[in-house]
Amino acid sequence: MSGRALYVDGVSVVFDGFRALNNLSFIIEPGELRAVIGPNGAGKTTMMDVITGKTKPTAGIVKFGDTDLTRLDEPRIAMLGIGRKFQKPTVFDALTVFENLELALKAVRGPIACWKWRLAAEQRDRIEAVLREIGLSERGQDLAGLLSHGQRQWLEIGMLLMQEPELLLVDEPVAGMTDQETEHTAALLARIAGQRSVVVVEHDLEFVRALGCKVTVMCEGTVLSEGSIDHVQNDPRVIEVYLGR
Amino acid sequence: MRRLIILAITLLLALLPALNLAGLGVSDFVITVVGKWLCYAILALSIDLAWGYAGILSLGHGAFFALGGYAMGMHLMRLIGPRGVYGHPVLPDFMVFLGYQELPWFWWGFQSFPFAMLMALLIPGALAFLVGYLAFRSRITGVYLSILTQALTYALMLAFFRNDMGLGGNNGFTDFKELLGIALNTPLARALLFWSSLAALGGCLWLGTSIARSKLGRVLVGVRDAEARLRFLGYDTLQHKLFVFVLSAMMAGIAGALYVPQVGIINPSEFSPGNSLEAVVWVAFGGRGTLLGAVLGAFTVNGLKTWLTSVAPDLWLFVLGAVFVAVTLLLPRGLIGLLEKRR
């Protein structure tokens, strides 16, 4: 896959004088899997908000390939191929699991086009394939509101798969999951990662170790340390932040 | 089964004016009243499309209804011609009375039926587009949007009360004579208006169902329940909300245009906020987000109103309030939810 790289250069976000991001810079190469860790309030979620267009940076450059992301709104960034999974799974409770995936399916988006649109056979096959992949084949016709917490997380990952994003931002995918669910999720993410760039924000260091990728440590809105998990765990500045001074 | 019931009820309703024309026990009063309810049902349907699906609770939909009504009213006024009390060849009575020398520019074209009908659609649609665009773009939702729409209808009511608006002031328009060459006070005119309203209701119901069953219907449900999430899936929700809001306002406009010749009058009180609130109660009572429920609600609540205001007029508002509270507490899915559970 000839993907595009994500450049974040010198990004700052100021909310009423509070610096949520402070001169943040990093590059995600095409196809790379990257973990982002950091204490609460380090600006991890704000970073995702900036990339997906929810928050406009006060200063700095955010580029996906040659496209300036700071000029676009959420729907346009999503259509560009950047998908996001939220910390708290948000699925459409009043719709069935199948319909949730159908909404995410890469297809028409405008109101009149949606009114005329009909699901083609190969699109139905694709939705069913994703249903199998996320282990919800039996639940396709159930309302999403009836799913358990773990199943909702998987459905949301399934919705991301339907979007076929080039870059995937995943916010704390295993928070509140049982060990078994965590394992299943790690396997799902590993399968996705082979084909596209993935950025995973996570607190669970064991999970990050299991991902076996480059790690970025954020603190007070900026990059504190970057490298392999062993490298960052031995970095004195990281130890200071995590263990207190 | 459901289809058969709807078909049977529609045929039964369609038979009423025929029986009236043949003099077989259906009074003129029944035709006028049921014809009015048909228009209310279209209004309820339009509210349900915006509220039940996209979660846009408009508490000012009566404004779109009234604007459609005024467009039809202007056409009917132009058709009076020299038959007015003052006998002026062009100007309606109220203009002669207020000393107008010539027809204001915005009355031009209203002597044409197709033009007036187009305006009954376009004026509510354009207003909904303007208000919707400004509100949705600024991400005004929920209770703030409801208050905004309520204020809109109130402001329009105050504006239409003014004589300088050139739209009849607080008296509005009345004394209509004919429509499409048929005298309005004849059984034939009543029957034709009744059938037109029934057909319009059927058309709107078909349109609404077609949207609800399409992907657009599911997108709208997504807008209602988790709009932010939908934006991250690549849906520019402003477009979908505007689309459904404008369509809904146009439906309300049609309802108003059909309503005015049947009741024979349109005045600024049609804009009063209470009317819009009552229409929302019909939808809540029937069951929101079901379309058919909105129609059912409009008929039952108005049926109750017509009966109660003749038996015990003082009680009506208390009953309306009690009905609303009871439905909210006991029947979250409205009347239609109750009927479906029984089956």
CATH code for the domain in which residue A100 is found:
3.40.50.300
Q: Which of B210, B233, B239 sits opposite A111 (nearest CB)?
A: B239
Confidence of residue A244 (pLDDT cuts 50, 70, 90): low
Strand partners, A13: A21
Q: Which of B214, B221, B229 sits opposite A115 (nearest CB)?
A: B214
Q: How far is CA A181 from CA A101, A184, B223, in A?
A: 20, 5, 30
**In chain B, whose CA is at the least distance from the CA of A108?**
B235
Helix B292-311, helix B316-330: angle, nearest 10: 150
CA–CA gap between residue B6 and residue B12 (Å, rounded): 10
Domain, as residue range, for A147: 6-243
Whose CA is closest to B157, among B272, B329, B41? B272
Q: Which residue out of A74, A80, A95, A124 would a mutagenesis test of the B interface target, given it has the greatest number of B Cβ atoms within 10 Å? A: A74
* Tally of structural domains, chain A: 1
Q: What confidence tens digit (pLDDT) does each residue in A2-24 have?
A: 578 899 998 999 888 888 888 88
Nearest CA-CA distance, residue B194 and chain A, Å:
30
Whose CA is closest to B224, among B61, B59, B50, B58? B50
Chain-centre distance for alpha carbon B106 = 23
Nearest CA-CA distance, residue A157 and chain B, Å:
12
Size of interface A-B (CB pairs under 8 A): 81
Q: Which of B214, B222, B233 sits opposite A78 (nearest CB)?
A: B233
Q: What confidence tens digit (pLDDT) does each residue in B291-335 have?
A: 999 999 999 999 999 898 888 888 888 888 888 888 888 888 888
In a domain, A62, yes or no: yes
CB contact under 8 A, B232 and A52: yes
Q: Which of A78, A86, A111 sits opposite B243 (nearest CB)?
A: A111
User: Could you give the dihedral angle defined by the CA atoms of residues B103, B105, B111 and B116, in that order, rounded to the nearest 10 degrees?
Assistant: -140
Parallel, antiparallel or unpaired: strands B178-179 and A82-85? unpaired
Nearest CA-CA distance, residue A115 and chain B, Å:
5
Query: Residue B262: how many CA atoms within 13 Å on its side-chain side?
Result: 28
Q: Which residue out of B210, B223, B232 would a mutagenesis test of the A interface target, given it has the greatest number of A Cβ atoms within 10 Å? A: B232
Q: How far is CA A213 from CA A207, A228, B262, in A?
A: 11, 7, 74
Nearest CA-CA distance, residue B40 and chain A, Å:
26
Collect all residues of chain A within an 8 Å Cβ-Cβ radius of residue B225.
Answer: 92-94
Could you say which DSSP state residue A141 is in? T
**In chain B, whose CA is at the least distance from the CA of A77?**
B234
CB contact under 8 A, A159 and B233: yes
Q: Which of A78, A94, A111 sits opposite B232 (nearest CB)?
A: A78
**In chain B, whose CA is at the least distance from the CA of A48?**
B232
Answer yes or no: are the C-beta atoms of A173 and A189 closer than 8 Å.
Answer: yes
CA–CA gap between residue B65 and residue B50 (Å, rounded): 15
Q: What is the ipTM of this complex?
A: 0.82
Confidence of residue A97 (pLDDT cuts 50, 70, 90): very high
Answer yes or no: are the C-beta atoms of B124 and B252 closer than 8 Å.
Answer: yes
Mean pLDDT of the A83-88 span:
82
CB contact under 8 A, A92 and B226: yes
Q: In sequence order, which residues have a C-beta less than 8 Å from that of residue A48 and are 6 or more positions away?
A: A84, A169, A171, A199, A201
Q: Which residue out of A50, A92, A167 would a mutagenesis test of the B interface target, given it has the greatest number of B Cβ atoms within 10 Å? A: A92
In a domain, A1, yes or no: no
Q: How far is CA A28 from CA A4, A31, A32, A172, in A?
A: 9, 8, 6, 18
DSSP string over A147-198: S-HHHHHHHHHHHHHHH--SEEEEE-TTTT--HHHHHHHHHHHHHHHTTSEE
Nearest CA-CA distance, residue B243 and chain A, Å:
7
CB contact under 8 A, A114 and B215: yes
CB contact under 8 A, A74 and B232: yes
CB contact under 8 A, B219 and A110: no
CB contact under 8 A, A114 and B219: yes
Whose CA is closest to A9, among A21, A17, A20, A19? A21
Mean pLDDT of the A103-120 span:
88
Q: Is the pLDDT of residue A1 over 80?
A: no
Chain A residues with a Cβ under 8 Å from any Cβ in chain B: 52, 73-76, 78-79, 83-84, 86, 90-95, 99, 102-104, 108-112, 114-117, 159, 163
Q: How many helices (H) and strands (E) would you count in chain A?
A: 10, 10
CB contact under 8 A, B236 and A93: no
Strand partners, A71: none
Strand partners, B13: none
Q: What is the pLDDT along chain B (343 residues), one digit of tens a residue?
A: 778 888 888 888 888 887 878 878 888 888 899 999 999 999 999 999 999 999 999 999 999 999 999 999 999 998 888 888 888 888 888 888 888 888 888 988 898 999 999 999 999 999 999 999 999 998 888 899 999 999 999 999 999 998 888 888 888 898 888 888 888 888 889 999 999 999 999 999 999 999 999 999 999 999 998 888 898 888 999 999 999 999 999 999 999 999 999 999 999 999 999 999 999 999 999 988 899 999 999 999 999 998 988 888 888 888 888 888 888 888 888 888 888 775 5
A63: its two tokens:
């580029």
CA–CA gap between residue B203 and residue B10 (Å, rounded): 12
Could you say which DSSP state residue A63 is in? E
Answer yes or no: are the C-beta atoms of A121 and A148 closer than 8 Å.
Answer: no
